[in-house]
Amino acid sequence: MLVAILQAIISGLSVGGAYALVALGFSITFTTTKTLNFSHGEFVSAGAFIGMSALFLVLGKPISSTTFGDAVPGAGAQLLALTAALGVMGLLGWLLYVVGVRPFAGRPGMAWVMSTLGFGVILQSIGLAVWGPKPVVVPSPVSDEVIRVLGIGVRPQELLTLAVAIVIMIGFDRVMNRTMVGKAMRAVAANGNVASLMGINTNAVMIGAFVVSSALAGLSGFLLAPIAQASLFMGLTVGLKGFSGAMIGGLNNPRGCVIGGFVLGVFESMVNLWQAQWREVAVFALVILVLAFRPTGLFGSKMVEKV
Whole-number pLDDT of residue 106: 65
Q: What angle do CA 243, 271, 259 make, to 5 degrees?
A: 40
Output the pLDDT for position 67.
82
Q: Which amino acid makes up residue 295?
A: P
pLDDT of amino acid 208: 92
**What is the CATH number assigned to the segment(s) 2-293?**
1.10.3470
pTM of the model: 0.91
In whole angstroms, how large is the CA radius of gyration of the chain? 19
CA 184 to chain centre: 23
In tens, the pLDDT along 54-88 reads 999 988 888 888 788 777 788 888 999 999 999 99
The per-residue pLDDT for 307 is 42
Q: At what angle do helices 254-274 and 2-33 cross, to 10 degrees?
A: 150
Give pLDDT < 50 ranges for the chain.
Answer: 305-307
* DSSP characters over 269-282: HHHHHH-GGGHHHH
Question: Domain-by-domain residue ranges, the chain?
Answer: 2-293
The amino acid present at 4, given as its one-letter code, is A
Q: For residue 152, how many other CB atoms are within 10 A of its CB? A: 18
Q: Are 172 and 254 in contact (CB under 8 A)?
A: yes
CA atoms of 232 and 133, how far apart (whole Å): 7
pLDDT digits (tens, 9 = 90+) for 5-54: 888 888 889 889 999 999 999 999 988 888 889 999 999 999 999 999 99
User: Residue 10 pairs with which residues in a beta bridge?
Assistant: none
Q: Which residues, 6+ apart, have CB-to-CB distance to 56 below 8 Å?
A: 62, 63, 65, 68
Distances (CA, A) of 220 to 92, 105, 128, 133, 165: 15, 27, 20, 20, 9
